[in-house]
């Protein structure tokens, strides 16, 4: 509710705000210092009243933590949510990864440099797009490195640690996927376990997406029943940033479209009865809002443990920012309709 900042309304407004304060604990915590000053003053100005009455009742939480970060992968380990993002900087500076943890999705603790290129001898630059999983008592961090092209050393690597905050050490001493297959640049990997215990990895840039089957110890790939190792599952409009999850018996395949440096970056999705598809584009889930932010994309999805409550974790570019690497991590609620389709997400502050 809003009131005009008219000085004749100062006292009624003050009373109304007092009522709001009694009902809204967070509002009281935020604005208590201002009210304390105002009540000691002989003149409660219209400007102060206007500020108090037009401010939001809840604190703004997006972006969820400070700094330039992108490509977030999120997961719950116990009751703690962890986010592993790319440190958003030029490739030559993008040589480490930080992590962030929270028990309420609002207050985040930074865990700096959980891995860097000193721990990955074959990675000379550009660690990015991490994907985290826990298996047994260990944590496995999959990552892209070197922005590999044909003839270059790089691709998708995997590191291991005893704790979610590391330090992570290179598991193989070489890339897990070092080459281009089916036209898919080996980047932007996402790892997940199917209901039957099988571990899969989706990955791919340059408009192509592959699905591979991982060995149980993550040291290599296993062939599919038909003898192939790299199965292309590229849907219409796919560019990069794939991820997958299951919900009510369906496989949801999501990906990013558009250019990552531009405002048209967005997330689309498809559904299927099997992990292999076919996946046909259904619609756009996440995109820019020119009143909030641009370039919303490259995301992950989390479900609150024990609840049918889902959130999308993604990056976007603040309004007015034109530098390609000026990206921040945000979280918004993701809902399904009665038929299981994902409702378009409205990005918020």
CATH of domain 69-334: 2.115.10.20
- Could you tell me the pLDDT band of residue 32, with boundaries at 50, 70 and 90? very low
Residue 257 pLDDT exceeds 80: yes
Task: Give tens-digit pLDDT for 270-316.
Answer: 999 999 999 999 999 999 999 999 999 999 999 999 999 999 999 99
Instruction: Check: CB of residue 128 under 8 Å from CB of residue 143.
Output: yes
> Looking at the predicted structure, is the pLDDT value of residue 170 above 50?
yes
Residue positions annotated with a catalytic role: 71, 240
Spatial separation of the C-alpha atoms in residues 86 and 128, rounded to whole Å: 5
pLDDT at position 172 over 50: yes
User: Which residues are CB-neighbours of 267 under 8 A, at least 6 positions away?
Assistant: 241, 254, 255, 256, 257, 284, 285, 286, 287, 296, 297, 298, 299, 312, 314
Closest CA to 163 of 120, 121, 114: 114
Q: Where are the domains of the chain?
A: 7-54, 69-334
**Does the pLDDT of residue 227 top 60, yes or no?**
yes
Residue 330: its pLDDT value, please?
98
The pTM score is 0.83
Q: What is d(CA 325, CA 144) in angstroms, rounded to the nearest whole number?
A: 17
Residue 40: its pLDDT value, please? 42
């Amino acid at each position: 509710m809003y009131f005009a900042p008219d000085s004749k309304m100062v006292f009624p407004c003050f009373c109304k705000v007092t009522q709001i304060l009694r009902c809204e604990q967070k509002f009281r915590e935020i604005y208590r210092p201002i009210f304390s000053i105002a009540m000691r003053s002989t003149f409660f100005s219209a400007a102060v009243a206007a500020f108090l009455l037009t401010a939001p009742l809840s604190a703004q939480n997006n972006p969820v933590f400070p700094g330039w970060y992108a490509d977030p992968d999120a997961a719950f380990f116990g009751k703690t949510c962890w986010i592993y993002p790319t440190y958003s900087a030029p490739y030559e500076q993008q040589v480490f990864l930080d992590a962030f943890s929270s028990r309420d999705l609002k207050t985040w603790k930074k865990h700096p440099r959980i891995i860097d290129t000193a721990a990955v001898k074959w990675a000379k630059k550009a660690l990015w797009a991490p994907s985290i999983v826990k298996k047994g008592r260990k944590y496995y961090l999959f990552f892209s490195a070197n922005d590999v092209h044909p003839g270059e050393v790089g691709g998708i690597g995997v590191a291991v640690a005893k704790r979610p905050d590391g330090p992570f050490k290179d598991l193989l001493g070489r890339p897990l996927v070092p080459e281009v297959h089916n036209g898919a640049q080996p980047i932007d990997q996402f790892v997940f376990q199917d209901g039957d215990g099988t571990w899969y990895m989706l990955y791919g840039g340059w408009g192509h997406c592959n699905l591979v089957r991982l060995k149980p110890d993550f040291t290599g790939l296993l062939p599919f029943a038909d003898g192939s190792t790299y199965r292309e599952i590229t849907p219409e409009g796919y560019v990069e940033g794939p991820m997958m999850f299951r919900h009510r018996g369906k496989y949801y395949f999501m990906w990013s479209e558009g250019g990552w440096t531009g405002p048209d970056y967005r997330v689309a999705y498809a559904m299927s009865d099997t992990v292999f598809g076919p996946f046909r584009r259904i619609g756009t889930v996440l995109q820019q809002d020119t009143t909030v932010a641009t370039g919303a994309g490259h995301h992950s999805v989390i479900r609150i443990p024990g609840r049918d409550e889902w959130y999308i974790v993604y990056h976007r570019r603040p309004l007015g920012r034109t530098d390609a690497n000026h990206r921040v991590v945000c979280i918004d609620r993701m809902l399904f309709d009665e038929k299981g389709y994902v409702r378009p997400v409205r990005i918020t502050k």
